Chains A and B, each alone.
Chain A
Amino acid sequence: MKGVKKGRGINWFNLLIPLIALGISIGMVVKYYQKKGLWVEVSFKDVRGITPHQTPVKYRGVEVGKVEEIKIDKDNLNLFILRLLIYPQYEYLVKKGTIFWKATLEISPDKISNLDTLLKGSYISLLPPTTKKSELVKLPTEFYFKGLEHPPGEKGYHFVLISQEGDLGKNAPIVYKGVQIGKLYSKTLYPDGTLHYKGLIFQPYNYLLYRNIKFYRIDPVKFKASIDSIQLKIPSLRLMLTGGVGLYVGDGGGFPKEKYPLYSDLEDIQYAPEVIKLVTTSKQPVSKVVYNNLIAGKVIDSEYDVKKDIKILKVKFKKEFFHLLQENPYFYIQTPKLSLTDLNLKKLITGAYIQMGVKGGKSKLKKEYKIMAVPPEKRGYKFTFLPNPKVKLKKGEKIFYRGVEVGEIEDVKLVKGELKARGKIYNRYLYLVNDSTIFYPISPLELKASLTQFSMKVAPLPQIIQGGITFLTLNPREKLTTRHFSIFSSFSDLQNWIKLTQKGRVITLYTPKLHGIKKGTPIYYDTFPIGEVLNYTFNPQSNRVEIKAFIRKKYLPYLNSHALFYIKKGIKVKASLSGVKVDIPPAMGLIQGAIVLEGKYNPKAPIRESFPLLTSQQVENRKFFHIFLLLPKSYSLKEGSPLIYKGVKIGEVDNLTLDPQKGVVKASIKIPNRYRLYFHTGAKIYLEKFQASINGVRNTSALITGGELHLLPSLKGKFKEFYSLDAINPPPTHYKRGVRFILHTPGTQPVSVGAPLYYKYVEIGEVEKVYLSPKDEGVDVEIFVPEKYSYLIRKGDKFRYFHPFKFSAKFLKFKMEMGTLPTLLRGGFILQQVDYGTPKAKSGTTFTLQPEED
């Protein structure tokens, strides 16, 4: 057995091999897990949407780690602990002060954020305390963190809103002027029944915290019903979904507070928190306190005391009116009264209300006030109105100044056939009135229309229904000495009066007919309003209407001999070959007609004060002149048919009349004055009308206009007013100069107007007329040869037909001649031989065509 070596005897040195392997192995494992990254624990209350091994940890969108495990906290079962693995290269991000939060899809009225989470699920976001890596590396590493419930990206001011009632959704927006400036992020119900909302105003809006701010609830839909009133409020659609918190910024400054009360609505903010009791014996339901037609307070509750038979109204006053309670206030109930003379509709609409007034002076604030049965009489400055028959005043009518009641009419009496009215301005408003004050009744509706705008001013409802008078103090610096004030019948009357006296001049326009001119009809220069019609009277002596018109100072230099006033009315549509022309007068003219001034600015010329008012027709006549064309029949001419010279329309037929005596049609043609120079003795007018024949179609445009008149002008001689038609569809050569001779033909070949005359295959003339010869069976053809070639036409010349198509066949010989295309259609002639030995032919010479060759 000695020979058998068992190979035992392992020494420690040999064991090094597995030990090294073990070392390598452990090293690998350790290194692997180290390489995996830094383990961090973060606690969260809500871990919905987070999946271990998958949910990433991100820093500004870059994945820096992963959620590896979710544990429930041992001590607090509401808390979850996420074990995060931060990748080694990002380990430096996790330091003391680093914050973690869960990024989830967020839908707010303004935006949808983290939309990516919809696809990929939520993720954990982290933000290190500083953005500088060098500083970050120095900070100590931390391993346990508390996760935030809201993203820190929404840096801002955190505060608590305390609400007494109502519920708002989590993440409800805080809205200011329709912009989301913050949001609520948590709510807690406290044992005392108040709801505490944690809110956040985003960083950029933090400046608002230094203003006097109040928060109020915007309910999705608000429905408030009490005996006194029913309110239904729906906010903007987007807030309907979530509800929200509105921010009200009052006057003055403020400082950020930790806690703010949440008002139930915007109105609530305006009211002082104090509840004032008003005691009344009246049983009428009232809901508001009115001061000077403004709502000063509202009844929030009412009690009925059975023993005393009184009603106690609990009223909240608006802050701005609250001080009135310390100025000797008095209250009485305004009830709707129906009588023939005093139909107080406003009260009917709104129901009874508590009228509030103050006597002035200082008084202590009381918790309870009595409502009086009758309003107390107010003291004031008494005066009378200068009589104006146009104004009807009633006793009790109020005097308003910018909607505030500042006085009333005390008494109206008939003295010697004139109404004498006495009024009173309350002492506290006396400063508004002085000797330059002029009164006028409030017109319920004021309509202002100008070229650029159309405004309608409606007086406040009570004034519309109650009526009332108001005043204008022309010069606020004047003193109050008089007890007599004048009153105008309307504000426009007053304005006119002011205008007349201060801002322009009144001129007279005369016209035989009024043409719908009214008081207030505007006067324009171009498109600028320069004045208006004040009034008009009929003068039986001159048998015309005299219109008084006001012209503003600025435009007075136009009122010289060039000025032309005329009436513009409605829309005029003119259709012609050149297009449809719509003539729209200035805006006001559309509605009521307008007067237009045309003229030249000349500040040196004397200003005229009286002008004729023309119709627009008359003005046109001044700009145009007419010529008359006498026609045997109308030749399809119509109104609007143009008169053309050199292709330009210089006039048009504006009237066609039949003269029954002469049996002629008289067409009047309207032509602008500037073309007058063409129409002198010798001018000719000819007609081009639509013609369709075998030879072609001519003057297609005349199909629409019904014939075009053409002018052959003459610049010399006297102005010619009456014309007769010189020609109808004259051949193009008609008015050219040259030789016109007659060719007597046997008529064996077709010839028509326009057929050419050739000489050596050059066209030297053209057929102008073709007619049956009066002498024999033949056809006479009038041929025009322009001056250029007139020397060719000699008395001994010989002409023959130009055969458009000639075919002759002889023995073993064919001959074919073919003419040009126009000759194929119209035929033609050839000047065969010029006989230079004979003198030039004059116009009217008759030639005879050479007989045909065989």
Chain B
Amino acid sequence: MRDIYRGEVICPVCGHVQPKGERCRYCGSHLYHRKPNALKWGIIYSLTAFAFLIPANLLPIMEVIKLGKVYSNTIIGGIIAFLEDGDYFIAIVIFVASVLIPFLKLFILWFLFGVAEFDKWKRYRRVATNLYKFISFIGKYSMLDVFVVVLMVSFIQFGNLAEIKAGPAVIPFGLAVIFTILATEQFDPKLLWDKGGGKNERS
């Protein structure tokens, strides 16, 4: 928070501390205290991601064509099928990676927005910071499902015997993941510590 008090800014790209200005004297990047419109775009992106999660879960993500018969499975349907088969481990992995995490990320994001926005929620900012670290960490694994489908589609092409096609849910799912990442990226964790802060401030 010191930079704000001193009226100085850290360049977000090269990390050079300098007096506030338009551009970094070193690398020429845009300089700002907080990401501009962070909350606004965070909310918009997260809502968009959420919207895409609906078809991602309702439409089949994968179409298995076995002996000419099409078995199309939604994500949940696939998980249920695995559970019925007794493959609990795979079911749990898919459930966590494909259903739980995407939604959880959005909920966490919204929680972070809340902490940033409302003074009353500021007491959760340490938790929120950890949660932010967590979602930034897992962000890159969110496309797991899409990768699984892509791998399956490319591996299993046995013509009439067995064939796997990407279902219509893949695109909305991918979009949901992208928008979730965008929302996460847009969010500035420093916002968690703005306003009413100082308790945890070192100087």
A residues near B, CB below 8 A?
A: 1, 3-10, 14-15, 17-19, 21-22, 24-26, 28-29, 32, 53-54
Contacts and interface: CB of A to CB of B under 8 A. Distances in A.
A263 to B, nearest CB: 50
Given A3-B4, A24-B52, 4 more contacts: A4-B34, A17-B45, A17-B47, A22-B51
Nearest to B188: A7
A26 B54 contact: yes
A5 B69 contact: no
10 contacts: A4-B34, A7-B38, A8-B117, A14-B44, A21-B49, A24-B52, A25-B52, A28-B172, A32-B58, A32-B59
Most buried by B among A4, A14, A25, A28: A25
B35 interface: yes
Contacts of B51: 18-19, 21-22, 24-25
B150 to A, nearest CB: 19
A14 B168 CA distance: 27
A3 B9 CA distance: 11
Interface of B: 4, 7, 20, 32-41, 43-45, 47-52, 54-55, 58-59, 69, 71, 116-117, 168, 172, 175, 179, 191, 194-195
A18 B47 contact: yes
Given A21-B51, A32-B59, A8 B33 contact: no
Given A14-B44, A25-B172, A28-B172, A7 B34 contact: yes
Contacts of A29: 54-55, 58-59
A25 B55 contact: yes
A121 to B, nearest CB: 12
A4 B4 contact: yes
A10 B44 CA distance: 9
The binding surface of chain A is classed by DSSP as helix
A53 B81 CA distance: 14
A7 B117 contact: no
Contact of A3 (B20, B37, B47, B58): B20
Given A1-B195, A15-B44, A25-B172, A7 B37 contact: yes
B64 to A, nearest CB: 13
Task: For the complex of A and B, list the 3 residue pairs with the smallest distance between their C-beta atoms, beginning with the closest.
Answer: A18-B47, A7-B37, A22-B51
Contact of A18 (B33, B38, B48): B48
A89 to B, nearest CB: 15
A17 B52 CA distance: 12
Given A21-B51, A21-B52, A7 B39 contact: yes
A3 B191 CA distance: 13
Contacts of B58: 29, 32
B65 to A, nearest CB: 13
Nearest to B117: A8
Contacts of B49: 21
Nearest to A53: B71
Nearest to B20: A3
A7 B44 contact: no
B44 to A, nearest CB: 5
B194 A28 contact: no
B44 A18 contact: yes
A16 B184 CA distance: 20
Nearest to A22: B51
Contacts of B50: 18
Nearest to B1: A4
Contacts of B36: 5, 7
Contacts of B168: 28, 32
A1 B71 CA distance: 59
B54 A5 contact: no
